[in-house]
Amino acid sequence: MPQIAAQRQARAGTTSEDPELSGASGPERRVVGIDIGATKWTVVAGDGTRIRASGATSASPDATLRRLESWLVGAYGREPLDALGCSFAGAVDRDGVVSGWPNRVSWKGYALLDDLRAFARHVSIADDGVCAARAEMAVGVAQDVRDFLSVSFGTGVGGCFVLDGSVRRARSDDARSIGHLRLLGEQHRCACGWRGCVQTVLCGPALAQADAARHVSAPLRDAVERLARWCADVCQQLGLEMVVLAGGSLARGEWIRAALLDVFQREGEAVGVAATAGSHLAAGPALGALLMLEERTT
């Protein structure tokens, strides 16, 4: 069992009742969390806060999974893991088949759950924005926060609302998350088929470029301000305490993280909503997937 989850369960006085999860215990238990994003995949284990491995996500799901498998076999051998939690940036249907992923359209129809089951006896898949929020709720900045909005900056923009301590999931199963809020003009055509989605401008590559140049372009600043204002306004209306900024794009650049946080804090201050950066920007999604295995909430 991951150390953090063990500590949390010990505090709560609970134990796992899932027979698939109770076959092994103690430090020898082989459990990992992975995150499959549009640009790269990462693996965490142990207490889940340190990335153990990462690689490029490609247009071919088979090729991507084979590279992931190669690392897992090298680290853990060919015996299946006890459990694997997968944070995924696309959407999957009830059977674990990819039902939509605007940033990686070639993955649609891929039987992700079936392939992951070759790696571990118990597998769960959850939305990456939900996983990032779970990590902050469990061991991050939102531990004592009942109501907040988590916004996760990766290749695109994800996230979710947490209301009264409960994660709210999008109604659709097409992987359109916060990045597909139509906050921009009709001239911005999105890969998802819509127009005006905020992540047509506010995306991982644009944030990396801004960080390298120490300069936020006017279109990017406009997109950030529109999203920050929307987040602040909806939080104010719903009575939410704060906006938590998460995601790997913020982990890669200290400058752009500060620049985004400044905009979100300024827009939040105008309506009395706080904004803060998460504690687990790079490892958050995989860490959340690992923790959700133990919480059995996927």
Which region among 39-47, 194-202, 246-254, 258-266 touches Zn ion (by CB under 5 A)?
194-202
Q: 229: left (phi > 0), else alpha (psi -120 to 50), else beta?
A: alpha
d(Cα 130, Cα 292) in Å, to the nearest integer? 10
Using the structure block, give the residue that is written with the tokens 């470029």: 209
**125, β-bridge pairs:** 86
Which region among 72-80, 88-96, 185-193, 267-275 touches Zn ion (by CB under 5 A)?
185-193
Site membership for Zn ion, residue 194 (CB under 5 A): yes
Q: Which residue's CB is nearer to Zn ion, number 76 or number 194? A: 194
Site membership for Zn ion, residue 190 (CB under 5 A): yes
**Residues from 1 through 20 that contact Zn ion (CB under 5 A):** none
d(Cα 6, Cα 156) in Å, to the nearest integer? 33
d(Cα 253, Cα 212) in Å, to the nearest integer? 8
Token output for 271: 């309506």
Q: Which residue's CB is nearer to Zn ion, number 157 or number 190? A: 190
The count of C-alpha atoms lying within 13 angstroms of the C-alpha of 198, restricted to the half-sphere facing its C-beta, is 23
Q: How far is the CB of 17 from Zn ion (least distance, A)?
A: 40
Site membership for Zn ion, residue 188 (CB under 5 A): no
Site membership for Zn ion, residue 197 (CB under 5 A): yes
Site membership for Zn ion, residue 227 (CB under 5 A): no
Q: How far is the CB of 199 from Zn ion (least distance, A)?
A: 7
Q: Pick from 34, 48, 51: which is nearest to 2 by CA?
A: 48
Which region among 3-11, 54-62, 178-186, 268-276 touches Zn ion (by CB under 5 A)?
178-186
SS3 for 94?
Answer: coil
Q: How far is the CB of 192 from Zn ion (least distance, A)?
A: 3
Using the structure block, give the residue that is written with the tokens 């969390």: 33
Q: How far is the CB of 101 from Zn ion (least distance, A)?
A: 12
Q: How far is the CB of 158 from Zn ion (least distance, A)?
A: 12
Q: How far is the CB of 94 from Zn ion (least distance, A)?
A: 24
Q: How far is the CB of 127 from Zn ion (least distance, A)?
A: 16
- Determine the Cα angle at 75 with ends 69 and 76, to 5°: 85
Q: Which residue's CB is nearer to Zn ion, number 104 or number 180? A: 180
Q: How many residues bind Zn ion (CB under 5 A)?
A: 5
Which region among 33-41, 128-136, 177-185, 244-252 touches Zn ion (by CB under 5 A)?
177-185
**Of positions 180, 229, 257, 280, contacts Zn ion by CB under 5 A:** 180
How do 242-246 and 40-44 pair as beta strands? Answer: unpaired
**56, β-bridge pairs:** 40
Q: Which residue's CB is nearer to Zn ion, number 197 or number 291? A: 197
Q: 193: left (phi > 0), else alpha (psi -120 to 50), else beta?
A: left
On whether the CB atoms of residues 150 and 158 are closer than 8 A, the answer is no
How many whole angstroms from its chain centre is CA 188?
25
Q: How far is the CB of 197 from Zn ion (least distance, A)?
A: 3
Contact letters for Zn ion, residues 62-101 (x by CB under 5 A): ----------------------------------------
The DSSP symbol for 240 reads -
Q: Which residues, including other chains, have CB under 8 Å from residue 215's CB and lie 6 or more apart?
A: none
**Which positions lie near Zn ion, rule CB under 5 A?**
180, 190, 192, 194, 197
